[in-house]
């Protein structure tokens, strides 16, 4: 996304980051549960 005029890519970056966070949270939660579920 760099190369896009400054400030213009903020909304696109926001949805990109949203998806990265959702996937990362899901993965971390799944691994933690698998390793700690009694």
List residues binding another protein (CB under 8 A): 1-5, 11-12, 14-15, 18-19, 22-23, 26-27, 29-31, 33-35, 37
Which of 5, 7 has the CB closer to another protein?
Answer: 5
Tokens of 37: 């579920």
- In angstroms, the CA 1 to CA 4 distance is 6
Cβ at position 10, least distance to another protein in Å: 9
Given phi > 0 = left and psi -120 to 50 = alpha, else beta, which region is 4? beta
Tokens of 7: 């400030």
Cβ at position 7, least distance to another protein in Å: 13
């Amino acid at each position: 996304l760099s190369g896009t005029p400054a400030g213009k890519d903020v909304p696109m970056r926001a949805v990109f980051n949203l998806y990265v966070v959702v996937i990362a949270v899901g993965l971390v939660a799944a691994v933690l549960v698998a390793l700690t579920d009694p």
